[in-house]
Structure 1
Amino acid sequence: MSNVTWIEHTEYNENLVHEWYRSLIKAGMAFGAQRWIASLQRQHHFLKMMKSAVDPTVELSGERGIRKMAQRMTDMFCTGVCGTKHNWELIQPATNENPKLMMRTNVSDPSEYVGVILSATKTIWLPTQQQTLFKFFNNEQTRSQWDVLYNNSTMERMIQFSKGQNIDSNISIYFAHGDESCASRVILQDTCTDESGSILVYATIGSQEMDKVIDGGDSSWVALFSNGIAIAPDCNRNLLAANDTCEEMDNGFEDGSMVTINFQMMGNMLPDTTLSMELVKQANGLISHTVHKIKSALKCW
């Protein structure tokens, strides 16, 4: 048991913060003690779970390897959204129509694919509560309604590891039925949610590579691309725009959320090459299609 006390002062330029996130920062949920305590709790649970096996069908060494790989995958997602790590180059600024596109080059890191890496990110506002959105994204039965990468697939959960006391914070391995391109691959997924926000990150990994990790092999050599969704609550309950409607607005959907979608993919295998316009078009299409499917499924326009 620990008692942590501190006083924190955070200074920021409000003119540089998007209006959607100003209420979140003012409420202290972005840089305040509430967010830091949630982070400390997540790290505490992660370290605690690393010491003991949760799934009796997987050896402790294999479970540790999967947990480390999931943590690395989520770190990649966060750096791809924020651009605070690595030398990302902005190639397309975010607009109302298009996502933000960034690229970087990996030359020697064995945990990533070597070559040019592209990150596509877009944030949308939805008149739906954070936890309602998280349950929608994390539901195996409704996944095909938003996931454009596994559009016609049925998800079968093979393994699940708890990350702590919250039953919705887990590391899972899925097999996608109905998609021949994924016949020899599995989906690693990492989910985490608390009152400060929710996140769902996933990556496609070869079945043989995953089997080696489950058997206790080193997971740091498994290269992957992370994709995912982050949800931040809108602390300003009066932000509903006149042109935004939601069929279930009268049934507990009075609050809104900021939803950030991110895809990361291989740009080119050669580090010294540039992105093709075809790949830029593909990245824009993935984001646009995902946004359309989410709004259609939730009937929010």
Structure 2
Amino acid sequence: MDSGDEQDVAESKGKKKRYHRHTPRQIQELEGVFKMCPHPDEKQRMQLSRDLGLEPRQIKFWFQNRRTQLKTQHERADNCSLRSENDKIRCENIAMREALKNAICTACGSPQTSEDSYHDEQKLRLENARLKDELDRVSTITSKYLGRPITQLPPIQPPSISSLELTVGGYGNHGFTPSVDPDHLGIDPPSGPFPFLAISEIDRPMMVELATRSMEELIRLAQTEEPLWTRIGIDGREVLHIETYERIFSRQANPFRSPSTRVESSRDSADVIMNSIALVDMFMDPGKWMDLFPTIVTNARTIEIIMPGMDGSKSGALVLMYGEFVGLSPVVPLREFWFLRYCQQVEQGLWVISDVSIHYPKDSHVSSCTKHRLPSGCVIQDMSNGYSKVVWVEHMEIEEDNPAHQLYHDLVDSGIAFGAQRWVATLQRMCERFACQMVNGNSPRDLVGVIPTAEGKRSMMRLSQRMVNNFCSTLGSSTGHRWTAPAGLNDVGIRVTIHKCLDPGQPNGVFLSAATSIWLPLSPQTVFSFFRDERSRVQWDVLSKGKAVQEVTRIENGQHPGNCISLLRAALNPSNPNEGNILILQESCTDSSGSLVVYASVDLPSINIAMSGEDPSFIPILPSGFVVLPDGRPGTGSSACSSSNPMGRSSGSVLTVAFQIMVSSLPSAKLNLESVETVNHLIGDTVQQIKAALSSLGA
């Protein structure tokens, strides 16, 4: 049971059990007392009861639950440590056994069958039996606390020919065949049209070696300058000089690589407002990693922990992960990767996190794009002012059977769409956002007077971040049925995807996601400013029905004035402001890689819940919005991309318009053509209104 919940037992047997959720203040006070005294006496419990407004029985149950929870956590940690040590010893035993089987006599060249080898094998058998007894003993003890048996280790797999390739850069270092039992891992297999992979005992040393070599290469890539890296374009982007790279790292070109395969490589660096320990923690946790890069990573999970790290820290941790990276448009194929992530603390305040792909099995059919993430990642160095300096390297081999639409060709083919600049710009912006979320006071740019407390502000920010995450995830969806209606050579048409959702954070039922993209001969800054200005909203927003929109409150998310959360109100009946109001939650964000304006209609009770500081996780929200990206074509001028000049110079913009609408509140409902026609007209009319409104600005 969660430490924040306490169960009141009913007086009579026939009554239902009632649950009471403690407030954050009560939990904080209880945790503080628990650290000093896990077993308070009756006098202490009575004092806590008076101070916190809880019954003595509630105090007693809370401490009982907390002690049980802590004991369970300790037992699980001890068990994981023992299992890890057991894995290492088993692996060594397997290697020794294979060496004994293949031992050759140096005198005659025949296999050794001496008495020594027989005794060695017997020793190994005795050692394995001892290890099994030790594991059974620990399992029996731990099961008393967990209330269930500990999952046993899988049987030792004999060495076999591998169907899965482990490579650094895909240059032909063949590897292993993992075969996993999802029940053994204790996690659900990743959803999607790909097989679930696993790691045998033989594979682990190979994976450790691969990750180690990958990290060594990443460090050299991060530290070496010309001629390994060269600057191109008006923004001075750094890209690898491939011939120099292959010479330094002794690479041989892959003879099986398709002529259509291209290499995307980039490097960038920046100072971010977060220390190295916090950054490392977010990188190694898939959920936090998605929150840190919501506009890039829309799906991530840890498949298996190869090494848990040393001394309770993340240093030395090695995990097998799955991730999906999106280009924020349905016509830009998302990129899926299985990869090893290795984290290492090089010295005090200096960390390295490296990624390297594991190739897909040939029969996985996960995507129409063959992708290999060569040694990539970042080097994080603590600075004295609480900031960290991050050097980021992205290095991929890409072969696409279904390339991005021609509107995005320049942006994708140049490597900008998924390059280091985009990762670093997003990291800077999100670290600023998290810093603003932790501040108790108000910013000079905030509109105050509506949100009563700092906790209410943070709750609103969490609700808005979930809205943005949902919006980006929808644009990157790789499944579902789409209808396309191209109207011309440069028109991508309207893409429609159907979703069935039962998640608490979205309306239950069936809804449509529809999107289209257009090119505009305006700078990305101009287009973004148009959409984030509430005064221009009446020119395109069908929700406001042509009525003026007023900004009720605003929360800043960073240094750029365009990074903010707004609560908007559209009065449908000006003569009676209290009747027929529509509330709209909107977040706008911009950095050197692009901009978003995401919004959703919300009701007054839901907003009151968030502004009061309560958990907003169960508030249903269905976002729509706009993505503004540079078109990637060479522009005029010489300004480089920077935080003060988002998106730099560009000859134009690519605008993606995306809506979500409810079809039915019943999950079993079927999609009908009328719904498709409705959303087609909705997007078509919105695009026409946008073009008309921007025509006065030069579009």
* Distance change (3 Å), C-alpha of 1:214 and 1:233: same
CA contact 2:531–2:537 (8 Å) conserved in 1:
yes
Aligned equivalents of 1:41, 1:51: Cα separation in 2: 16
Aligned equivalents of 1:184, 1:208: Cα separation in 2: 13
User: Aligned residue for 1:93?
Assistant: 484
User: Aligned residue for 2:405?
Assistant: 18
User: Aligned residue for 2:334?
Assistant: none
User: Displacement of 1:7 after TM fit?
Assistant: 2.8
1:174 and 2:555 matched: no
CA contact 1:152–1:179 (8 Å) conserved in 2:
no
**Matched residue SS, 1:64:** helix
User: Aligned residue for 1:49?
Assistant: 436
1:33 and 2:420 matched: yes
User: Aligned residue for 2:549?
Assistant: 155
CA contact 1:80–1:264 (8 Å) conserved in 2:
no
2:663 alignment partner, one of 261, 267, 277? 267
**Matched residue SS, 1:143:** helix
Q: Deviations over 1:113-152 (max 9, x none)?
A: 1111210110111111100111111122211112222231
Instruction: Report which stretch shifted further, 132-141 or 199-208.
Output: 132-141
User: Aligned residue for 2:288?
Assistant: none
User: Aligned residue for 2:394?
Assistant: 8
User: Aligned residue for 1:244?
Assistant: none
**Matched residue SS, 2:683:** helix
Aligned equivalents of 1:269, 1:170: Cα separation in 2: 32
2:589 alignment partner, one of 172, 188, 192? 192
CA contact 1:172–1:188 (8 Å) conserved in 2:
yes
Structure 1: gaps (5+ residues): 239-252
* Distance change (3 Å), C-alpha of 1:216 and 1:102: same
1:69 and 2:456 matched: no
Count of matched residue pairs: 283
1:137 alignment partner, one of 531, 540, 545? 531
Pairing of 1:210-289 with structure 2 (within 5 A): 210-237=607-634, 255-289=651-685
User: Aligned residue for 2:213?
Assistant: none
User: Displacement of 1:112 after TM fit?
Assistant: 0.7
State the AA in 2 paired with 1:101: V
Aligned equivalents of 1:10, 1:20: Cα separation in 2: 22
Aligned equivalents of 1:267, 1:22: Cα separation in 2: 34
User: Displacement of 1:179 after TM fit?
Assistant: 5.5
CA contact 1:150–1:179 (8 Å) conserved in 2:
no
CA contact 1:159–1:174 (8 Å) conserved in 2:
yes
State the AA in 1 paired with 2:486: T
CA contact 2:633–2:650 (8 Å) conserved in 1:
no
User: Displacement of 1:223 after TM fit?
Assistant: 0.3
User: Aligned residue for 2:505?
Assistant: 111
User: Displacement of 1:184 after TM fit?
Assistant: 4.5
**Matched residue SS, 1:295:** helix
User: Displacement of 1:237 after TM fit?
Assistant: 4.2
**Matched residue SS, 2:459:** helix
* Distance change (3 Å), C-alpha of 1:151 and 1:12: farther
Q: Deviations over 1:7-36 (max 9, x none)?
A: 321233355122221211244431111101
User: Aligned residue for 2:350?
Assistant: none
Aligned equivalents of 1:219, 1:31: Cα separation in 2: 32
CA contact 2:501–2:510 (8 Å) conserved in 1:
yes
* Distance change (3 Å), C-alpha of 1:179 and 1:79: farther
CA contact 1:10–1:31 (8 Å) conserved in 2:
no
Aligned equivalents of 1:168, 1:31: Cα separation in 2: 23
* Distance change (3 Å), C-alpha of 1:184 and 1:263: same
CA contact 1:231–1:260 (8 Å) conserved in 2:
yes
User: Displacement of 1:219 after TM fit?
Assistant: 0.8
* Distance change (3 Å), C-alpha of 1:67 and 1:282: same
CA contact 1:148–1:289 (8 Å) conserved in 2:
no
User: Displacement of 1:49 after TM fit?
Assistant: 1.5
Higher RCO (CA 8 Å, separation ≥ 6 residues): 1
State the AA in 2 paired with 1:214: M
State the AA in 1 paired with 2:434: L
RMSD: 2.2
Aligned equivalents of 2:579, 2:398: Cα separation in 1: 45
TM-score when normalising by structure 2: 0.39
User: Aligned residue for 2:602?
Assistant: 205
Aligned equivalents of 2:518, 2:613: Cα separation in 1: 40
User: Aligned residue for 1:245?
Assistant: none
Aligned equivalents of 1:292, 1:83: Cα separation in 2: 26
Aligned equivalents of 2:558, 2:667: Cα separation in 1: 40
Q: Deviations over 1:259-294 (max 9, x none)?
A: 000000111111112112221111001100011101
User: Displacement of 1:182 after TM fit?
Assistant: 8.1
**Matched residue SS, 1:149:** coil
State the AA in 2 paired with 1:200: V
Aligned equivalents of 1:8, 1:298: Cα separation in 2: 36
State the AA in 1 paired with 2:692: S
Q: Report the structure number with the largest CA radius of gyration.
A: 2
CA contact 1:94–1:122 (8 Å) conserved in 2:
no
**Matched residue SS, 1:4:** strand
State the AA in 2 paired with 1:4: V
Instruction: Report which stretch shifted further, 20-29 or 38-47.
Output: 20-29
Q: Deviations over 1:153-203 (max 9, x none)?
A: 211111101111111110010111236898344110000012211110000
Aligned equivalents of 2:392, 2:460: Cα separation in 1: 34
* Distance change (3 Å), C-alpha of 1:179 and 1:198: farther
State the AA in 1 paired with 2:603: G
- % same residue: 35
CA contact 1:134–1:231 (8 Å) conserved in 2:
yes
